[in-house]
Amino acid sequence: MSRPRGGAVAVLTAGALALTLAGCGSGEAGAGLSVGGAYMPQPVSDMAAGFLTVSNDGGTDDTLESVTSDIAGEVTVHETEGQSMREVDGLDVPAHGKLVLESGGNHLMFERLKRKPKEGETVSLVLHFAQADAVTVEMPVKSMTYRPASGN
Ligand code: CU
């Protein structure tokens, strides 16, 4: 009876391996989340805006809950409605979808800047999600009037 048992063990091992690979998703950091198009317009005061797109290639809805950065006393997540904006507790990153932060829409606000970053510099920030691991983003600082070439 030793050979069938050995075969069963081998099948179990293969099954465990397949589960492990599936759990890794696309193999990218952040469990299927990736960040692109990040930039900060060079700030004119002690506040700065930040824009980026979070793509969710996974099958699980997630939420951007908070953002931290060593250059700001606080980073808040803002939603824009018409001409006014308001702080929100989080923004959804739907499964197989995207969260787009863009000029005129949802955005990050870096408040109480400890220094004023200049065009050409890079600002480091960390995105904290409800489900996925935190993602560190190196955000380039662009000119005050910079706009991305095309949509996201
Ligand atoms: Cu705002």
**CATH number of the domain that residue 49 is part of:** 2.60.40.1890
DSSP 59-81: SS-EEEEEEEETTEEEEEEEEEE
pTM for this prediction: 0.77
Residue 85 lies in a domain: yes
Residue 69 lies in a domain: yes
Residue 96 lies in a domain: yes
Tens digits of per-residue pLDDT, 32-64?
899 999 999 999 999 999 999 999 999 999 999
Tens digits of per-residue pLDDT, 105-133?
999 999 999 999 999 999 999 999 999 99
Residue 67 lies in a domain: yes
CB atoms within 10 A of CB 111: 13
Tens digits of per-residue pLDDT, 129-144?
999 999 999 999 999 9
- Report the largest interatomic distance among the alpha carbons of the chain, rounded to a whole angstrom: 77
Residue 76 lies in a domain: yes
Cα(88) to centroid of ligand 1, in Å? 10
CA distance linking residue 84 with residue 90, whole number of Å: 17
Cα(67) to centroid of ligand 1, in Å? 14
**Which residue range is the domain that position 113 belongs to?**
27-142
Residue 53 lies in a domain: yes
* Number of domains present in the structure of the chain: 1
